[in-house]
Amino acid sequence: MAVHLLTYNYCQKEKYTMKLAVVGVTGLVGGVMMDVLDEFGMEVNEFIPVASARSVGKKIVWRNQEHTVVSMEDAVAKKPDVAIFSAGGGTSLEWAPKFAEVGTTVVDNSSAWRMDPDKKLVVPEINANALTTQDKIIANPNCSTIQMVVALAPLHKTYGIERLVISTYQSFTGTGKQAVDQYQAEASGQAYNQDTAAYDYPIFANCIPHCDIFLENDYTKEEMKLVHETRKILGDDSIAITATAVRVPVDGGHSESVNVQLKKDFDIKEIKNLLNKTEGVTLMDDPANKKYPMPLFAKNKNDVFVGRVRRDESIDRGLNLWIVSDNLRKGAATNAVQICTYLRKSGLIGS
């Protein structure tokens, strides 16, 4: 298992203080964000919970203290050192610049800024060292992209990646509370309003090959995020990538079958050794003893789990990987908190 420097070195060896806002605090990711902040041991002088108008005034408990949810306007007026956004693209487009104008560094979990050429798209294990004090809006990648590139980055650095064929098996939790409610209602046989359901079809005991909206090329937006974000994070537009994203009735994380064609030949033992040494990766690859990654094991953990590592015998320099991670953790909250931790450790935020 890899040593997790982003958690241990930055959060346990030293203490930090800052004024921190969580935007979208009452949502699924917002709740996990509070858990991860606490687990990482980050000291916060002032915690500012922020949500939409309908949630303003509600009370939430964090670190055994009651906090009152405030509006976006009030949060901007407080000038936090950092604001972690998990409130949707429209909200981010409107409010992230307003926070940035008062000196706040925004770490945004939506898709709003990811492909903006002037914004960094950051997975701390890969490219956090590119951040500067000028980066006031930092994009958190898509959940399915994050877990995949954590595993692929060391392979790309060592061998070069020529082509990726990706198939995802994504938890309904990635769609949000509305999808969770739909799944729970279907699983228990309860009636629910199909007009306000998250999906057009049942998700319980079903697989839906439709994540996000369909685009003109008949790929979904989720599938094209995997294409564009992977190239941006790895800094290589030459990688050929195709993807199929599927929503599955799983509570616990996203799984991905990734077929990789490398530019250089490899020894499978060297691939496994490289993955085993990679920060943020847990290699779980012992097929003889039926040990391989599953969402059941990944739930509530911050690691990316990799297994079923084997050569693709149908093509030259081909490799198959099975990659699993908790989409609400490393796929969202944990990655954002790791970015904040890096910023504070590097003196880019706070005092």
Write out the catalytic residue numbers. 143, 254
- Amino acid sitting at position 241: I
Q: Write the CB contacts of 41 (distance below 8 Å, at least 6 apart in sequence).
A: 11, 12, 15
* Beta strand residue intervals within the chain, DSSP E: 19-23, 46-50, 59-62, 65-68, 82-85, 105-108, 137-139, 161-171, 240-248, 254-262, 281-283, 304-312, 318-325
3-state secondary structure of 264: coil
Nearest partner of 103 among 131, 119, 80, judged by Cα: 80
**Do 128 and 105 form a contact (C-beta atoms < 8 A)?**
no
Q: Check residue 348 and report its DSSP letter.
A: S
Rounded to an integer, what distance in angstroms lies between the CA atom of residue 334 and that of residue 34? 10
**Do 144 and 169 form a contact (C-beta atoms < 8 A)?**
no
Q: Write the CB contacts of 92 (distance below 8 Å, at least 6 apart in sequence).
A: 85, 106, 108, 110, 112, 113
